[in-house]
Amino acid sequence: MSSSPALPNTTALDPAVAARLKRDAHGLVPAIAQQYDTGEVLMMGWMDDEALHRTLTTGRCTYWSRSRAEYWVKGDTSGHLQLVKSVALDCDGDTVLVKVDQVGAACHTGDRTCFDAGQLLITGS
Amino acid sequence: MSSSPALPNTTALDPAVAARLKRDAHGLVPAIAQQYDTGEVLMMGWMDDEALHRTLTTGRCTYWSRSRAEYWVKGDTSGHLQLVKSVALDCDGDTVLVKVDQVGAACHTGDRTCFDAGQLLITGS
């Protein structure tokens, strides 16, 4: 069920929230997942209205997978769930911040976060 | 100078970094700004190769403003600078995480972060 795409206009996302969303040309907004207690930025995914609705109502962070073109309940296959603690929209409605309790690794590589292996710069100050 | 767009192919971004970037159709990647010590997610902006190069080399977080179509050194007009502490690329090269020391408010509304006013859900657990 979690991987079945919603039919157009079948999302039950609160219309008041939907009215605030500024989506890209593909109907998506970037969603930042952050560990709620440590503050680690874990990963970034994409949500359409229905993914946001599912994230708000199921307690499990749900993205739209652009590569697979389907809904993606984080952890459904890996067990590395993201249990939703809070959801916020930014000031211009084009980015979602989801604070979660991440079970295990957020990254498909096994790293805790998707940014662990990609340091480009660390300043001394 | 900071607001002048780079001419095509004039960016001095390290080619090894440029080769890892997966840009959208507009040549941009989302960039998450996070307060380096508290972990607050401050805002999300967009960077092209040159904005990333400037962020890596000037010590001040620099975005590409999609609305104004120009480089945007955060704080140049507001004084609310983002002093760069570290920069990381995610596992698939399509998102940048910049840890900064944010001077004053990150949000144009005067809020500390762009997510402060947009809570959609806070769970009790």
Enumerate the β-bridge partners of residue B30. B46
Binned at pLDDT 50, 70 and 90, residue B3 comes out as: very low
Pairwise CB contact (< 8 Å): A32 & B43: no
Alpha carbons A19 and A93: distance in angstroms, whole number: 9
Q: Which of B45, B123, B36, B92 is nearest to A45 (CA)?
A: B92
Pairwise CB contact (< 8 Å): B95 & A56: no
Backbone torsion region of residue A104, taken as left when φ is above 0, otherwise alpha when ψ lies between -120 and 50, otherwise beta: left
pLDDT tens string B54-107? 999 999 999 999 999 999 999 999 999 999 999 999 999 999 999 999 999 999
Enumerate the β-bridge partners of residue B64. B71
Phi, psi at A77, each rounded to 5°? -100, -35
* A97 burial via Cβ count (<10 Å: 0-12, 13-18, 19+): buried
Angstrom distances, CA of residue A115 to CA of A19, A107, B11, B50, B89? 32, 8, 24, 21, 6
Residues A6, A7, A8, A11, CA torsion sign: negative
Pairwise CB contact (< 8 Å): A91 & B34: no
Binned at pLDDT 50, 70 and 90, residue B9 comes out as: low
Tally A–B CB contacts below 8 A: 113
Instruction: Report the pLDDT averaged over residues A109-123.
Output: 96
Q: Which residue has the tokens 């970034």?
A: A44
Q: Which residue has the tokens 């989801």?
A: A98
CB nearest to A118's CB, from B32, B89, B123: B89
Pairwise CB contact (< 8 Å): A90 & B118: yes
Percentage above 70 pLDDT, chain A = 92
Q: What pLDDT score was predicted for residue A25?
A: 93
Contacts of A30 in chain B (CB under 8 A): 30, 44, 95
Mean pLDDT value across chain A: 93
Instruction: Report the pLDDT averaged over residues A4-23.
Output: 81
Enumerate the β-bridge partners of residue A101. A83
B10 reaches A (C-beta below 8 A): no
- Would you say the ipTM is above 0.95? no
Predicted TM-score of the model (pTM):
0.92
B120 reaches A (C-beta below 8 A): yes
Mean pLDDT value across chain B: 93
Least CA distance to B45: which residue of chain A? A95
Distance between first and last Cα of chain B: 49
Q: What pLDDT score was predicted for residue A124?
A: 76
Pairwise CB contact (< 8 Å): B91 & A109: yes
Least CA distance to B39: which residue of chain A? A39
Q: Which of B52, B70, B49 is nearest to B61 (CA)?
A: B52
Residue B2 pLDDT more than 70?
no
Pairwise CB contact (< 8 Å): A95 & B84: no
Contacts of A92 in chain B (CB under 8 A): 114
pLDDT tens string A32-72? 999 999 999 999 999 999 999 999 999 999 999 999 999 99
